[in-house]
Amino acid sequence: MRTRAGYLGSGLALVVALLLAACGGGASAPRAGGSSTAPQPQGTETLLVGAALPLTGDLAREGKQQKDGYDLWAETVNAKGGIEAGGKRYLVEMRYYDYKSDNTQAVKLVEKLITEDRAQFIFGPFGSGATLAASAVTDKYEIPMLSPSASSESVYQQGRRYLFGLLAPNAAVGQATIDLLFTLPTPPQTLAIISRNDLFPKAVAQAIESAARARGMETVYFEEYPIGSTDLSTPLLAAKARNPDILVGTGYTNDLVLMTRQMKELRFSPKATVQTAGPTYASYGEALGADANYVVSPTWWAPGSPYTDNGKLFGTAADYARLFQDKYKYDVDYIAAASAGCGAVLQAAIEAAGTTDPVRVRDALARLEVNTFYGPIKFNENGQNIGTGIAIIQIQNGQQIAVAPPEAATGRLIYPMPEWDRR
């Protein structure tokens, strides 16, 4: 008969073995981005750019998008001979650590990238929370950090000198959404808002509410639901009872899929449903099928956006979308675009500074005005990009149709949307 210690020992050994097996199958830290390290021709130097990303855990999908965007930039720029500055050529090497969707780990790993790996520049982790936390470290070491996924103004209002974000402020999202609704012959008068109780969804909800108030619209219902909700019927019913013209729902894809599904179950048909951030992801449309139709969503970037870098790197927004789709076999969205955009911006700043010295590149970033496939870039005094406008899409017949801004629109907004019973 085996002793208890024997049982315990084999159990523990098993856990360890299983965990190792799990790590081996997925992304594990530390790991260097091997694919972007090209063989070095004579007379070139290596530029090391580091990023801590959530490659496993709840945010694994978002982390992968950012990594794919960063990698695509590094590969593209290396294939074109690297970055030229001050008479030298630099080939880019990316180095990643997995912070396992745990923001406190992100901060430690960014510090490790700077102090141990000697990363010269940092690309952001996912989301406003992790970016805000990591920006304390990058400021401490005076290393510029470019973020493709933090849009909340509060992140940039902490007086950080070395943080630059490509996403336009949330206020611009609210403004663009309400502006679009007011181009209609009979603009809506009332709105109801159901927001996930989370930093970014709440910030967007408040931005839309204040833009609506400025236009004289009345918010008849504003409620927050907890993270991880499995049922939204109660706030939806309460909103339905107030009969708003517009329903605004903020959260992430799983929340918004649930919200749309339950709107149908409860026969809740406002004149328009505005949701962010979810409908721009292909998985939203795949999950809901025809029920996703008519949902409106503001987004920071769309493949149809009228932007180009004039052949310098990727070409137009559409060119980038095609390249990304060919390589990674899934549809690009604004985060993956902004991620490669971080690279394009860093490259422009290094070239403008004529050096890779972090402090001088930082000053070049602050002054930078450049056209990229992601959009025109110009940072405000807080380091947030105010050069690129907001695009708005509506799902029509399962396709994301750009309905704003006018110069990028590929279709017209369908308003009011048909009621559930008449589809």
Partner 1 sequence: MDGGLLAQAVLNGLLLGGIYALVALGFSLVWGVMNVINVSHGAFVMLGAFTTYWLFVRVGLDPFLGAPVAMALMFVLGYLLQKYVINLIVRAPMFMTLILTFGINLVIVNLGIVAWTGDVRSITTGLSGQGVVLGPFVVPYVRAATLLIALLATTALFVFMDRTRTGSAIRATRMDLLAAEGVGIRIDRIYALTFAIGAALAGLAGALISVTLPITPFMGFTYTGKAFVVTALGGLGNMAGALVGGLVLGVAETVGAALLGPGYQDAIGYALLVLILVLRPSGLLGRVGYA
Binding site for partner 1 (CB under 8 A): 4, 7-8, 10-11, 14-15, 18-19, 21-22, 25-26, 56-62, 64, 197, 223-226, 228-235, 237-238, 241, 253-254, 257-258, 261, 264-267, 283-284, 286-291, 420
In the complex, minimum distance from the CB of residue 288 to partner 1, in angstroms, rounded to a whole number = 6
Q: Which is nearer to partner 1, 33 or 235 (CB)?
A: 235
8 Å CB contact between 262 and 232: yes
Q: Write the CB contacts of 32 (distance below 8 Å, at least 6 apart in sequence).
A: 93, 95, 96
Query: Minimum distance from CB of 191 to partner 1 (Å)?
Result: 18
Mapped onto helix, strand or coil, the DSSP state of residue 80 is: coil
Question: Measured from the CB atom, is 162 or 221 closer to partner 1?
Answer: 221
Query: Inter-axis angle of helices 358-367 and 334-353, to 10 degrees?
Result: 110
Nearer to partner 1, 56 or 138 (CB): 56
Minimum CB distance to partner 1, residue 57 (Å): 7
Q: Which two tokens stand for residue 45?
A: 């130097």
Least separation, in Å, of the C-beta of 8 and partner 1? 6
Residue 133 CB neighbour total at 10 angstroms:
16
Q: Report phi then psi at 101, rounded to 5.
A: 60, 25
Shortest separation between residue 237's beta carbon and partner 1, angstroms: 6
**Residue 6 or residue 81: which is nearer to partner 1 going by CB?**
6
Residue 416 preceded by cis peptide, ω within 30? yes
Whichever of 59 and 368 has its CB closer to partner 1, that residue is 59
Report the nearest approach of partner 1 to the CB of residue 372 (Å).
Answer: 28
> Minimum Å distance from CB 51 to partner 1?
18
- CA proximity to 145, closest of 375, 345, 380: 345
Report in angstroms how near the CB of residue 24 gets to partner 1 at its nearest.
Answer: 10
State how far the alpha carbon of 87 is from the alpha carbons of 84, 92, 130, 252, in Å. Answer: 7, 16, 36, 46
Residue nearer to partner 1 on the CB measure, 84 or 223: 223
**Nearest of 322, 326, 323, 321 to residue 301 by alpha carbon:** 321
Beta partners for 394? 296, 401
CA distance 239 to 255: 16
Indicate the angle between helix axes 199-214 and 127-140, nearest 10 degrees.
Answer: 110
Question: Closer CB to partner 1, residue 106 or residue 390?
Answer: 106
Q: How far is CA 137 from CA 113, 131, 269, 320, in A?
A: 11, 10, 47, 32
* Phi, psi values for residue 337, rounded to 5°: -70, -45
Residue 198 CB, nearest distance to partner 1 (Å)? Answer: 12
> Residue 141 or residue 420: which is nearer to partner 1 going by CB?
420
Choice between 24 and 87, CB closer to partner 1: 24
When the beta carbons of 144 and 285 are compared against partner 1, the nearer one is: 285
Strand bridging mode 163-165 / 44-53: unpaired
Number of H helices, E strands in the chain: 13, 16
Q: How far is the CB of 373 from partner 1 (least distance, A)?
A: 25
Q: How many CB atoms lie within 10 A of CB 407?
A: 9
Amino acid residing at 171: A
